[in-house]
Structure 1
Amino acid sequence: MKFDLKKDGKRLFVVCLASVIMALNIKSFVRTGGLYPGGATGLALLIQRSASMFLHVAIPYSVVNIILNAIPVYIGFRFIGKKFTLYSCVTILLTGFLTDIIPGYVITYDTLLISIFGGLINGFVISMCLIVNATTGGTDFIAIFLSQKKGIDSWNLIFGLNAVILAIAGILFGWDKALYSIIFQYTSTQVLHLLYTKYQQQTLFIVTNRAWDVYEAISKVSHHGATIMNGEGPYEHEERQVVYSVVSRSESKEVIEAIQKTDSHAFINAVKTEHLAGKFYFKPNE
């Protein structure tokens, strides 16, 4: 693994900041509201509360969280990327340690407000980590693994898996907190969809007279290919070329800017891609 002082220093700062915010969110929102946020965090809290209530044993959050992340960390190291997994481990360990030692500060006792704003913060923190190629651990590893292997945006699938954790929490501790936790998890997932778009695709239709140059601009920025089709402008009955390409939403803005620099007269239509089958290039995680 090669390290760049500026780039990796920025990543380290972001994951440490994210760990602090995540720990504060757990102590000030999640635990105050008695919520179960899903993933390894929610399962760790569920195990903690079950041990405390039924066995009268206090288990440190960090210990449970590390154990639950053992298999996801292996998946990340084996299939996603070594540096990606390293920085994720920093987040997991630091979040667990801070959650155990920092004091909780109650902002509100309103469970609905806790569910909404706690979910917003949770989704924001996860997005912070993913943008710099790291995760908060747990099901994030699984979601990225599925996204890379299957070419799908799998966060909604993870939301479904988290519903199982919430169902168990509802059976053990009451359905009101479990139902509020669904609001928390849904809010978090929507923020994640909004801020992290690497595994979402966008289809570009570009009408141009410089099709080959446009293709090279797309390829240079995104490493994606394109299909060039011939067409006709019905108003002036002049021949036009249409470049068809699919790119990641996270890079579409940069691609469109490159196209406009190449051909300032190009007509560009960007359409959200709902489903994609076949090979699609994803920039590998380090």
Structure 2
Amino acid sequence: MMRNWGKRDIVSIACVVLGSLLLALNIQSFVGTGGLFPGGFTGLTVLIQRSFLKFGGIEIPYSLVNFALNAFPAYIGYKTVGKKFTMYSIAVILLSGMFVEIIPPITITEDILLVTVFGGILQGIALGVTLRGNASTGGTDFISMWISQKTKQPAWNYILGMNAVMLAVAGYLFGWEAALYSIIFQFCSTQIVNYVHVRFKRMTLFIVTRSPDLVIEEIHSSTHHGVTRLEGIGTYYGEPRTVLYTVVETANVKGLVNRIHELDPTCFINVSKSEAIEGRFYQRPIE
């Protein structure tokens, strides 16, 4: 048990460091080159920085603003989402701020469309890496995770809508072209996150098997989900068959299917996407 926890923590720390570095690189390259505004509190930090510089001639550190903005959401996340999740997220906030101060501005390309699309993709990858490490970039990510836990559905598209208010302010202050390109940037980022982050996505499994007891035990032990058992007759050979029905998290599907095939090489499994479910469903808690 301790070794499993150790491995999980090592993966989380590696994802926190890598995700923070990618976020900082994106800010100092694509975001800076295109004058874009990322989503969430990262974008709000950039907006405040540029506002102080344009209207007051004051250059304030990225890390200082970002830390101040995230203080209260981090407290809320600690109380409602998960303690370990919040601590790792705070580490992302601290590290990304430190990396932004260390990494010099980088211009990869000045083509605004390329900057927007690939910047959004890199942002989505960075967010996906941090989420894989049981962390986030803070701010609106805490809100998104809280909504996801309450609704049992991915909430990243809701956050995209919330960012529209910030972009409206940015467009008014700095020009609508940058704000409109930032919408494309955030859309690309959101789609990448939706693709790589599967925690709140579910799949339905219909399993036709000759070894139902072994398969049921495996599903119970590896996923903690229940199973509905139906007895039937295979019409091709007229032999008795058991049909098992269950819904599991998408992340569990590949390993579970492989294990079921080991237990019953002749089984037939139909895997389909579950758009929505109602009723009790075990969700592994965020730590």
Return the TM-score normalized by structure 1: 0.93
SS in 2 for 1:280: coil
Which stretch shifts more, 10-19 or 249-258?
10-19
CA RMSD of aligned residues (A): 1.8
Return the letter of the residue paired with 2:140.
T
> How far does residue 45 in structure 1 lie from its aligned partner after superposition?
0.8
Aligned to 2:217: 216
Distance 1:236 1:171 in 2: 71
Whether contact under 8 Å (1:217, 1:262) holds in the other structure is no
Percent of counterpart pairs with the same letter? 48
Return the letter of the residue paired with 1:156.
N
Structure-to-structure mapping, 1:164-243, within 5 angstroms? 164-243=165-244
Deviations 1:215-235 (A, max 9, x none): 211111111111112333222
SS in 2 for 1:228: strand
In structure 1, list runs of 5 or more residues that go unmatched. Answer: none
Query: How has the CA–CA distance of structure 1 residues 7 and 203 changed in structure 2, closer, same or farther, with 3 Å as cutoff?
Result: closer
SS in 1 for 2:41: helix
Whether contact under 8 Å (1:73, 1:137) holds in the other structure is yes
- The answer to whether structure 1 residue 95 and structure 2 residue 96 are counterparts is yes
Structure-to-structure mapping, 1:10-49, within 5 angstroms? 10-49=11-50
Distance 1:266 1:6 in 2: 33
Aligned to 1:153: 154
Aligned to 1:71: 72
Q: How many residues align?
A: 285
Distance 1:164 1:205 in 2: 44
Which stretch shifts more, 37-46 or 147-156?
147-156
Distance 2:81 2:213 in 1: 34
Return the letter of the residue paired with 1:149.
K
Deviations 1:166-214 (A, max 9, x none): 2222222222111111111111111112222111111111111222321
Deviations 1:102-158 (A, max 9, x none): 211110111111111111111111111111211121222221122122211111111
- The answer to whether structure 1 residue 129 and structure 2 residue 120 are counterparts is no
Deviations 1:47-103 (A, max 9, x none): 111222223322221121112212221122112222221111111011112212321
Aligned to 2:52: 51
SS in 2 for 1:69: helix
Distance 1:171 1:72 in 2: 26
Distance 2:224 2:40 in 1: 33
Whether contact under 8 Å (1:205, 1:270) holds in the other structure is yes
Return the TM-score normalized by structure 2: 0.93
In structure 2, list runs of 5 or more residues that go unmatched. Answer: none
Distance 2:277 2:55 in 1: 47
Aligned to 1:252: 253
Aligned to 1:109: 110
SS in 1 for 2:272: strand
Return the letter of the residue paired with 2:10.
G
